[in-house]
Amino acid sequence: MKKEKGLLIVLSGPAGVGKGTVCNALRQEETEIQYSVSATTRSPRAGEVDGVNYFFKSREEFEKMIEQDELLEWAEYVGNYYGTPIDYVRETMNNGQDIILEIEVQGALKVRDKFPDGVFIFLMPPSLAELRSRIVGRGTETEDVINQRMTVAKEEIDMMKKYDYVVENDEVHLAVERIKSIVTAEHCRRERLIEKYKELVEVD
C-alpha cells in the first residue's frame, strides 16, 4: 500500500497574534509534527536560539540563499528578510511526516503557489486592540514600528480569504485544539487517500 505523504501545514497571521506561542504549544502536544525553522535577518529576541527559533543570517548571507534558490519562499517585512529553507520541507513530507511552517502572510501566499495541496491556516487576534496590546507588551519595538505593524496587520487580515481555515487565538490551548482538529480532518480527506487505497480495488 502506498505510503501517505506528510502534510504541509502553513500557519500565518499578523505580527503579534501569537504564531510562535501557538506553534510551541502544538509541538508539545503533537510531537510527531516537525517544525520548519525559518531564516531571518532580524536580530534575535531574548531567549531565542540560532537554529532552534530561526536561522539568524546577515543580509549578505540571506541574499546568497536567494540567488542559489535555497528558499521555498522569502519576503521582506518591516525592513528584514524572512524565508523557508526548501530541502528540509521536502524531505520531511516525503518521509510521511507532517511539517508546520510558521511564516508571514506574504511568504504563505508564495508557498501556496508551489504547494497548492498544503493546509493553510490563518491565525486571527480577538480584536485589533488586543493585537496592539500584545505587540506593545513585547517591549521590543518602537512606537513607529508598532504603527507600521498595525497598518500591515489590517492589510494581512484582508488576505485571510486566500486561506483554507481561520483560527482565532483567544486562548492558546483552544487555538491548539482547533488546529489539531483541522490536521486530523485533512488526513481523512478523500483526495489525499484515494491513491493510497486504489490498490484495494484494482483487478489483475
Place of cell 508546520: 100
Of all residues in the chain, the percent with pLDDT exceeding 90 is: 45
Place of cell 531571518: 40
Q: For the full predicted model, state whether its pTM sits above 0.85.
A: no
Give per-residue pLDDT as tens, 131-179.
888 888 877 778 888 888 888 889 889 999 999 999 999 999 999 999 9
pLDDT band at 71 (very low <50, low <70, confident <90, very high): very high
Q: Alpha helices of the chain — where are they, by DSSP H? A: 19-29, 59-67, 86-94, 105-114, 128-138, 143-157, 172-187, 190-198
8 membership: H or E segment, kind and range: strand 8-12
Who has greater pLDDT, 30 or 57? 57
Domain spans in the chain, listed from the N-terminal domain onward: 8-36+97-198
Measured distance CA(34)–CA(170) in Å, rounded: 24
Which CATH architecture group holds 8-36+97-198?
3-Layer(aba) Sandwich (3.40)
Query: Per-residue pLDDT for 88 more than 90?
Result: no
